[in-house]
Every structure is written in structure tokens, then in C-alpha cells.
Structure 1
Amino acid sequence: MNTLKFKTNINCGGCLSKVTPFLNEEKNIKKWDVNLESDDRILTVETSDLTEEEVKKTVQKAGFKAEAV
């Protein structure tokens, strides 16, 4: 299992509700979380199969940006 971390522009609960269906639908994401308390809004993703680029594309489908940290 790999843990990937991304700086995002997911800023609030409303943003979180928009990105949730996209991350939940990705079968290869075992667990994910966005730390809204962090200034960088860190998205943490646990996956065994996805690359950083694939996670970034999933977040972009929801209309948000993700940059690997």
C-alpha cells in the first residue's frame, strides 16, 4: 500500500462534497482524506495501484488541482 500526498485547492466542506464522489468511485483508492486545517489543504490517498498522475487526474475531473508533495 502506498500513501500519496498532494497539495490541493480543496478549501471547504462544499469543495470536499464535490470531490468526494470522484475519489470514492476510484476503485483503487483504499482510503483518502483532505486536511482542511492545513494551509496547503493536504490530500492523503492510500492506494496499491494508482500513480500520482492518476490521482491528480481524478481530482482534476472534479474541478480541483492537486500537486504532489
Structure 2
Amino acid sequence: METLNFKTNIQTSDDVAAVTQPINDFEQVDGWNLDTTAPDHLLTVQTTDTRIADQLQEAIRQAGFQATLVKR
């Protein structure tokens, strides 16, 4: 299992709801957490394949938000 961390601009529960389905659609995602109280609104994704980082960023962008990979 690998971890991907993203800085995001996701701030509210409505924002989290908007990205939930796009993230859950990835078969390689085993779990994820979004800390909206952290300064960087950190999204942590547990995955079996870190190569999906760019695809996750694009899915979040299409949901109307930004995500920047900070750690693989």
C-alpha cells in the first residue's frame, strides 16, 4: 500500500461531497481522508498504484477544485 498526499482548496463538507464520487471511482484507491482543518486542506489517499496521482488530480480538477501532489 502506498500513500499520496495532496494540498487542496477543498474546505467544506459540500466540497468533500463533490469530490467523493470521483475519488471513489478509482479502483486503485483503498481509502482516503481529507483534513479540511489543516492549513493545506490535506488529502491523503491510500492506493495500490501511485501512478494514478495525475489522474486523481484531473478528477478533482473536473469536480471544480485544485490538488497538488506534495508527497509520494
Q: Same fold (TM over 0.5)?
A: yes
Tell me the equivalent position of 2:41: 41
Q: The residue matched to 1:7 in structure 2 has which SS?
A: strand
State the Cα distance separating 1:55 from its structure 2 match.
1.8
Alignment of 1:1-69 (within 5 A): 1-51=1-51, 52-69=53-70
Give me the whole-angstrom Cα distance separating, in 1, the residues matched to 2:63 and 2:5: 17
Give me the whole-angstrom Cα distance separating, in 2, the residues matched to 1:26 and 1:61: 14
State the Cα distance separating 1:50 from its structure 2 match.
3.8
Name structure 2 gaps, 5 residues minimum. none
Runs of 4+ with >2 A deviation: none
The residue identity in structure 2 corresponding to 1:62 is A
Give me the whole-angstrom Cα distance separating, in 2, the residues matched to 1:62 and 1:26: 14
State the Cα distance separating 1:61 from its structure 2 match.
2.1
Name structure 1 gaps, 5 residues minimum. none
Root-mean-square deviation over aligned CA pairs: 1.1
TM-score when normalising by structure 1:
0.90
